[in-house]
Amino acid sequence: MVYITITGFQKDSSHIIAGLVATLVMFVPGAVIIALVCAIISSIVRTFSGIIKANSTDSNDVEPIIPSYSKSDYAPESASEPEDTVESYVSPEPQIPVYDTMEGHDFEYYCAELLKNNGFYNVSVTQGSGDQGIDVLAEKGGVKYGIQCKCYSSDIGNKAVQEAFSGCRYYNCHVPVVMTNRYFTRQAKDLAQKTNVLLWDRDILNKYIQVSQGGNL
């Protein structure tokens, strides 16, 4: 729109200037000088019009400058992985009960002391050989117990139950008992139930130890 308006103005001004020059030449003595001035003005108008046209054309062809960015411009700095500061936990070795390390005869005396500390009296350990299946004799509440002691690394079977049953009769005891640091097999439990033999396993042994150390059952 700017170019069209100025161009129209250029054409109109040229006719007007030409008419003025003709009139001045006819009536004014200094018309020649005025004609030169008008020609100069007309030239300036044409030059100015060309500049406006060029600027108008260039402004339509110029593309906007869009800055380009790469992903690295916005990528966060790589964080170093945290060092593993958690120390590996090594569980302590389970403490082996003292009775699991005993020999057979030592275990018999150990059981005798536990019985004394748990209210039994007249506690005695029989001779090592020829004991007829009873290792410890003890009384409590007027009842005499004949106890077979077994310190093994595996569960106790029928044989210990049979020895306690027969040894109890030999020593004229009221109650036969098998006392051990282990547990009993199913067959041993069945036989003990039929022969009325008491089975004092690892759990009962630990209860006697607790009482012996000042605890309560």
| Domain positions in the chain | 2-59, 98-212
pLDDT tens for 74-104 read 444 554 555 554 455 555 556 888 888 998 8
Nearest to 109 by CA among 100, 99, 95: 99
- Look at residue 179 in the predicted model and tell me its pLDDT: 97
Tens digit of each residue's pLDDT (9 = 90 or more) over 179-204: 999 999 999 999 999 999 999 999 99
Distance (Å) of CA 25 to CA 14, 16, 35, 169: 16, 14, 8, 169
Q: Please tell me the distance from the alpha carbon of residue 31 to that of residue 18, in angstroms, as a whole number.
A: 12
CATH class given for the domain over 98-212: alpha beta
Supply φ then ψ for residue 90, to 5 degrees. -110, 115
Residues 117 and 114: their CA atoms lie apart, in Å, by 5
Q: What are phi and psi of 103, to 5 degrees?
A: -80, 165
Arithmetic mean of pLDDT over the chain:
76
Confidence of residue 42 (pLDDT cuts 50, 70, 90): low
- Determine phi and psi for 66, rounding to 5 degrees: -110, 120
3-state secondary structure of 84: coil
The candidate with the shortest Cα–Cα distance to 124, out of 135, 133, 132, 141, is 135
Rounded to an integer, the average pLDDT of 9-22 is 55
**pLDDT for residue 54 is more than 80:** no
- With a cut of 90, say whether residue 4 has pLDDT above it: no
